[in-house]
Amino acid sequence: MVNLHTPTKPIFLTPELAIGACDVLLMAGPCSVESYVQTRAIAEAVYHHGGKILRGGAFKPRTSPHSFQGLGLEGLQILRDVADEFGLLVITEALGVEHVPLVAEYADIIQIGSRNMQHYPLLWAVGETEMPVLLKRGFMSTIAEWLAAAEHIASRGNEHIILCERGIRTFETATRNTLDTNAIALVKQTTHFPVVADPSHATGRVDLVLAAARAAVAAGADGLLVELHPNPAEALSDSDQSLPLEMLPQLVGQTKMIATALGRNLS
């Protein structure tokens, strides 16, 4: 048996749902929450394909100050409403210390973005909550720095940390980032944290997302964080890498095959 997940200490998101245990968890949703209608359509699709967790961005850290910066509080409310309608959990990003209380109120898992991996005041703030925290690897950070950032969170008392490999910056320009499957395998072996992968940012290209999702699960990932959109061409952010809803069955089907080959389930 492959037995990838033995040393991992599962984190119970609900009394019935744990990450880092046998199931590989799908966390899917829009890059940005754009409207109730868009978000509900996605949540419905996630629910119908057996997903349990809705992802979505309300506060959007964007490289340019002139890009859409997210719906803010309204986005959080939409996420919570549609998630509750379908019995899903919510994961969303806290962009700064000042957002932590608000995000903690609306979400089930707080996400720390790649560009904030070493923003220590934010790490300390989520470390003072008891909520599960998904810590994205900085796209420029070594594995050692990533684990040190997790230690910053844990140093304030919160050990409910989920690591997320989302691709690193390399010299290659044909893809947005390079998925580091070695890192997935290495942190699985050397830490007790669950680890998930983000094949959307790790590729930046819809045509590579499925392959990256398969590779990540094969390397041992405990979950996937995937961007979906009803109409990617019109998405307000990340339109090149958001899977259209009609590809969700393929994503679920292919990753389930890999998970099953390793003696795991997908949900």
Q: How far is the CB of 260 from a second copy (least distance, A)?
A: 7
Please name every residue paired with 228 in a beta bridge, in sequence order, or none if there are none.
243
143 binds a second copy (CB under 8 A): yes
Give, as ranges, the residues between 195 and 214 that touch a second copy (CB under 8 A): 202-203, 207-208, 211-212, 214
List 14, 48, 68, 120, residue binding a second copy (CB under 8 A): 120
List 61, 77, 240, 244, residue binding a second copy (CB under 8 A): 61
233 binds a second copy (CB under 8 A): no
Closest CA to 89 of 148, 132, 137: 132
The CA distance from 224 to 211, in Å, is 12
Find the part of the chain contacting a second copy (CB under 8 A) among 84-92, 135-143, 225-233, 236-244: 135-143
The CA distance from 106 to 150, in Å, is 23
Q: Which residue has the tokens 């690591």?
A: 163
Buried b (16+ CB within 10 A) or exposed e, 76-102: bebbbebbeebebbbbbbbbeeebbee
Q: How far is the CB of 72 from a second copy (least distance, A)?
A: 13
Closest CA to 104 of 122, 117, 113, 92: 92
Instruction: Between 23 and 108, name the residue whose CB sits nearer to a second copy.
Output: 23
Binding site for a second copy (CB under 8 A): 2, 4, 61-66, 95-98, 115-116, 118-122, 138-145, 148, 151-152, 155, 168-175, 178-186, 189, 202-203, 207-208, 211-212, 214-220, 254, 257-258, 260-262
